[in-house]
Amino acid sequence: MSLSSQQGDSNGQNESMDFIETAQYNAPSGNSSRALLPPPWRQYRHPNGDIYYYNPQLRLITPDNIRDPQIFEYILDAREDHLQCLAGDPNLHRLPSDYELVISDISDTAAVIRMYSRAAGEAYTWTEEQGLIRKTTEHFWSYVAEYPSHHENLPPNTEEEFVQSLSNARQAVISGAVFPFSERQIEQIIARYNYLTGLRSQGRNSTPSLAWLVGAVMPLDAVGRRVDDQDLEALMNGSSS
């Protein structure tokens, strides 16, 4: 699958993607970074260099340093508490069986816990007040961008949706619609996508970079009609006029 690009670097390597924001993690530091990981945990590296950990049996992700025994204990305790809460929720049947649990910002008193289903393309959370609820599409794409390296392939149908959205966005921008990205930036995204899929066709593992790109760009929806340069600059900077 490819998209025709009207401009951009010939090999796609030198394009600036500074306009795409991603989450930053806290990489392990000190002697703890040399400690052995408890099996079957594995360490993965985000294309931006940040580290996270994944347990395929528990389907559990964390960017926190589980090489620290205390952090590791906090993570497992938080998971157990969360599963107990889910077990009593009357809407538990709405949570797909393939969901992955993400636990971050852990301490002895608190943690941020999120859930994502690759098969359903959805994100979820649980609170004592509301129980199990589905989050917006943006949360799912954020997950894809934040944790792109522990699966061999992109989530089902996401690449097709990405390609179609880019094609639609390019045509809509030319017609005067306003998107989070300019026409030039959309062309840069297309060039980068074609470069990464080219690497994949050569047998290279470009899935982490592809997932990062797709997750950071999507959902690619129009946000309004044509605006002047000042309003467009404010939109690109994430501020309002």
Report the C-alpha gap between 157 and 22 in whole angstroms.
22
What is the average per-residue pLDDT within 46-66? 96
Please state at what angle helix 207-217 crosses helix 137-146, rounded to 10 degrees.
Answer: 150
Report the C-alpha gap between 129 and 101 in whole angstroms.
20
Give the pLDDT confidence of 163-208 residue by residue, as tens digits. Answer: 999 999 988 888 888 888 888 889 989 999 999 999 999 999 999 9
b/e 67-105 (16+ beta carbons within 10 angstroms → b): bbeebbebbbebbeebeebbeeeeeeeebeeebbbbbbe
Please state which of the ranges 158-162, 184-188, 228-232 shows the lowest mean pLDDT.
Answer: 228-232
pLDDT at 228: 46
Handedness of CA 158, 151, 132, 24 (dihedral sign): negative
pLDDT at 73: 96
Categorise residue 184: left if φ over 0, alpha if ψ from -120 to 50, beta otherwise.
Answer: alpha
pLDDT at 231: 46
Does the pLDDT value for residue 224 go beyond 70? no
pLDDT at 2: 57
Whole-number average pLDDT of the chain? 83
Does the pLDDT value for residue 234 go beyond 90? no
